[in-house]
Each structure stands twice: as structure tokens, then as C-alpha cells.
Amino acid sequence: MSDLTTQQPYADLNPDTVLDALEAAGFVVDGRLLALNSFENRVYQVGVDDGPPVIAKFYRPARWSDEAIAEEHAFCRELAEHEIPVVAPLELPGGGTLARHAGYRFAVFPRRGGRAPELDRSDTLEWIGRFMGRIHALGAVKPYLHRPTLDIASFGDEPAAYVLDGGFVPPELEKVYRGVVAQALDSVRAAFERAGEVTRIRTHGDCHVGNMLWVDGQGPHFVDFDDSRMAPAIQDLWMLLSGDRADRARQLGDVLAGYEEFCDFDLRELHLIEALRTLRLIHHSGWIARRWQDPAFPAAFPWFDTPRYWEARILELREQIAVMDEAPLWLAPGMR
């Protein structure tokens, strides 16, 4: 992935451009347009004359190659063909799933209704676990060739260096942040060493509650595979866990009860839960920093360039360092 090539990558993406793009792709639009909440890409609900509205996603320029987007689309469609409830891109009237218009690349998805799943319910977690097991069973069949792997370098070392070298951390906090993030990354490396050689598979990559739609009687629908990459299976499971240690252990048991009906889980990956959480925290700050020239980001994250933000990140990382020294969440027989 490369940095942005322009400071305002969506400056020319206005409502007329969006509607013209859908028309050029073969849809008969009716003029209704609703911008949806998205920062990395631009996403719109678009009304069409001959059916329900569709969702159009305009990809951030220069982020993914065409080949990487094609792999994401192929994986989603493969999952859908196996009756796994993912929201896959539509085959466009002109063929293919990726289109271009006015310098932008976009895909079109069916609109799915639903609500956030209730992750405090054991039956909900087990249901999600069953589908996640099916996703991973298929994800393990072959690797991505053009999409990245979640690793310490790209999710930890590089974003940490970017915010420090770019002067995003206030001068009075820079030395403290530099030391804490270095210590946190050392703990992450130690956690990966304890886990050993775990298998990387095709994953959703960002499977938090906001990327699932719950439909009564149907269960979860998984959306937005934009961050899909090669990663340990636990990357798609740890974000389902919340609360204190006892709560998270119970939730993990519920998820794995469903998951292992379809896919074996390597218990060594439990060493990685807090390490992956730490990498996500470091990566998130780097993500905002890399997008800071996009006008949408200062508006959405006005606190990012304040001392309070970085003080909170320092405290957060110190807490993670302590947690990574603890035993895995669910210590199984034979684990160390």
C-alpha cells in the first residue's frame, strides 16, 4: 500500500460524479443519493429505478492495486457461493465487479438491512463463531497473492515511525511515546515468539461489531472486506471479546464452540490476542496520521493533534504492556 498521491483524494467526487458513474456502469439511477459513514473509502446509497437501492463504494486512490481489489472481490463471491452470509460485490451489467469513472475505481453492493449483533448473548456468539469457522475453512484453501499479511512491521514498526518522524506527537511527549511504543512492540514480538509458527489464512481482517449486520432468523451478515488480508485466525475473533477477563473467557468459549464445528482452532494463537490488540492501537494512530491531509480526517478526529490524545495513547500502551505479560486469556492444557 502506498501513501496518498494527492492531498484531497476525493475533491472531484461530487454527487453528479457518483450518479454518472453508476449510470455509466449500467444502472438506471433515480437521483436519490445518501452518503454513508466511511472514512477510508467513500460509500453511498444510490436509488435505482428498477429495484431496491444499491451501495456504491469508491476506493481511496492509490491504496490498493486492481489485483488486490480483485482478490477481495473473488474471496467474497466465493464465500457467497458457499452460502456464507457475506455482502459480496455485484456483477456489473458491463461485466466484472470493479469499474472506473472520472479517475475513480468503484464497486457496487446490494443493500442489506440489519442491526448490530448482541455480543453479550452466548447463542449470538456461537452463531457468529459457526459462520466464522466456515469463512476460515474456505480462507485456508489458498493464499492471497496481492493482498498484504498482517505483521509487526506493517502494523507496528511502520506506523509508529510515521507518527514520530512526521512530528505528530507533541514535543513534550515525544520521548515518552517513543519509549513506550518501543517497549510495547518488544512485548508484541515476545508474544509472537511464544505463539510460534502460526498459520496465516485469508481473513476478514477487521471483524468488529460495526462490520456485522444481524438479521433476526438469519443471524450475522459480514460486510466490508476492505481490510481483508493474510493473518492468524484469531484476528477475526478477538474483536468480538469485551469486558473483564472472566467475561472475555466466557465469550471466547462461546465463539469457539461454534467455530470448531467447521474449522480447527490452533490454541497457540491465544498468545496473540493482546499483541494484535496492541498492533491495532498503534496502527490506528498511524492511519489517522497518514490521512491527515484528507479534509475529512481533521473534521472527524479534531483531538488527534492535541496532547490529551497522545497522553491517552501512552497510558493505553502501558496497560497493554502489562496485559501482554499475563497468561493467555484461556490457558488450555499444554500451553505455556
Burial class (CB in 10 A: 0-12, 13-18, 19+), 229: buried
- For residue 220, which of 121, 144, 81, 89 has the smallest C-alpha distance? 121
- DSSP letters spanning 81-148: HTT--B-PPPPPTTSSS-EEETTEEEEEEE----B---TT-HHHHHHHHHHHHHHHHHHTSS--SSS-
Spatial separation of the C-alpha atoms in residues 124 and 330, rounded to whole Å: 20
Q: What residues contact residue 318 under an 8 Å CB cut-off, 6+ apart?
A: 180
Could you tell me where the beta strands, DSSP code E, fall in 232-311? Answer: none
The residue annotated as part of the active site, out of 20, 120, 224, 247, is 224
CA angle 267, 268, 271 (to 5 degrees): 110
Q: What residues contact residue 196 under an 8 Å CB cut-off, 6+ apart?
A: 268
Catalytic, 224? Answer yes
Burial class (CB in 10 A: 0-12, 13-18, 19+), 98: middle
SS3 call for 51? strand
The DSSP code for 210 is: G
Residue 305 CB: number of other CB atoms within 10 A? 16
Residue 95 CB: number of other CB atoms within 10 A? 8
The residue annotated as part of the active site, out of 3, 30, 206, 247, is 206
Spatial separation of the C-alpha atoms in residues 32 and 225, rounded to whole Å: 26
Residue 142 CB: number of other CB atoms within 10 A? 11
Which residues partner with 202 through β-bridges? 230
Q: To the nearest 10°, the Cα dihedral for 238, 243, 246, 248?
A: -10
Active-site annotation, residues:
206, 224
